Amino acid sequence: MRRREFLLLIEALAGCSVSRGFAWGQSQGKAPIVGIIGAGSPASHGAWITAMVARLGELGWVDGENVQIEYRWAEGQNERVATYAAEFAQRKVDVIVSSGPAALIAAKAAPDTPVVAASIGDPVKAGVAQSLAHPGGNLTGSSIQATDLAPKRIQLLREIARNIRQLAVMGYVQGYAGEMESAQTYAKAQGLDVKALPLKAPSDIAPAFESIKGHADGLYVAITPFTTVNRTEIFGLALDARLPSVTGLQEYVATGALISYGTNFVEVFRRAGDAVDRILRGEKPGDLPIQQSTKFDLAVNLKTAKTLDLAIPSSIFAAADEVIE
């Protein structure tokens, strides 16, 4: 990460409007430390983390006054996460915040440090929580149900692009295979031909699109920090290939995806701020239920639809939370 990017992000975070709470540092002798491991980059994840820090401010935690907030950026590379988590654990930070599989990696790399997952798949299946209601370990946070929503996303895509017969399913495979597998299983059950496009590095993106020329007429992109960091290239190439695309993040729609359906990440990161607050005030992460999203946002890109000569059905248009024109 460039130094200027880092300074700009810190300026934005420090400038959040906050209300004063009790001064933890005054009663304990030092301010607690919150270590944030951004799974992506400041450009891809900064707005969400800013929302979480703003929520902490509303709850009385002011960076530089009664709490210290430190940032590390994995840039979509999971191998960096364990290193950062071990560093934070060695320094005995009070809580680590991350998201997705990065949060799972952090929880395992720093087993004695509370970890808040702003977003996570299935922590019980991953072995870091006994149950959602009572995690019992060092991790709490929010489950975003990305895998469970894959069928709904494909249904929405086919309501707009009714002639899809061959679906390409793209995603970063290191720690994120679940959503891709769910999308492929459902698409095959619906009689679609499916082409998996696993990505391991940015250099895989352009060749992946080359490989499906003439062999795909729709695209599903799984939510991962890697695809979030590289979303501009991915959806630019999708448009060049005239592929109607669906995903789970409205931020992807802003860069050219046709439609998205999924959790509002600003809200789940704000919810992470609530969990951090409770931990800093003495509660244990294992006692804090892992929340599940109950509201899912629908976003459509009318410009992309026009480029692809597709009409948005009135039912989808009326239900959309965000329409990009």
pLDDT at 78: 81
pLDDT at 319: 95
The pairing of beta strand 166-172 with beta strand 193-199: parallel
**Strand, helix or coil for residue 234:** helix
* Burial class of residue 165 (count of CB atoms within 10 Å of its CB; 0-12, 13-18, 19+): exposed
- Residue bearing tokens 């009663």: 27
Helix spans in 16-135 (H): 24-28, 42-58, 79-90, 101-109
pLDDT at 29: 58
Q: Does residue 23 have a pLDDT over 80?
A: no
Max Cα–Cα distance, the chain, nearest Å:
66
Q: Which domains are assigned to the chain? A: 3-144+264-294 (3.40.50.2300), 150-263+297-324 (3.40.50.2300)
φ/ψ bin of 324: left (φ > 0), alpha (ψ from -120 to 50), beta (otherwise): beta
Over pLDDT 70: what percentage of the chain?
Answer: 91
pLDDT at 295: 81
Q: Average pLDDT for residues 171-195, to the nearest whole number?
A: 91
pLDDT in tens, 138-156: 999 998 877 789 999 999 9
pLDDT at 213: 94
C-alpha to C-alpha distance for 165 and 162, rounded to whole angstroms:
9
pLDDT at 19: 32
Confidence label for 183 from pLDDT (cuts 50, 70 and 90): very high
Q: Give the H or E element holding residue 9.
A: helix 3-14
**Strand, helix or coil for residue 23:** coil
Over pLDDT 90: what percentage of the chain?
Answer: 74
Q: Does residue 10 have a pLDDT over 60?
A: no
pLDDT in tens, 307-319: 999 999 999 999 9
Q: What's phi and psi for 192, nearest 5 deg? A: -85, 145
Encoded tokens for 47: 């707005």
**Strand, helix or coil for residue 198:** strand
C-alpha to C-alpha distance for 116 and 275, rounded to whole angstroms:
7
Helix spans in 161-249 (H): 177-189, 205-211, 225-229, 231-240
Average pLDDT, the chain: 89
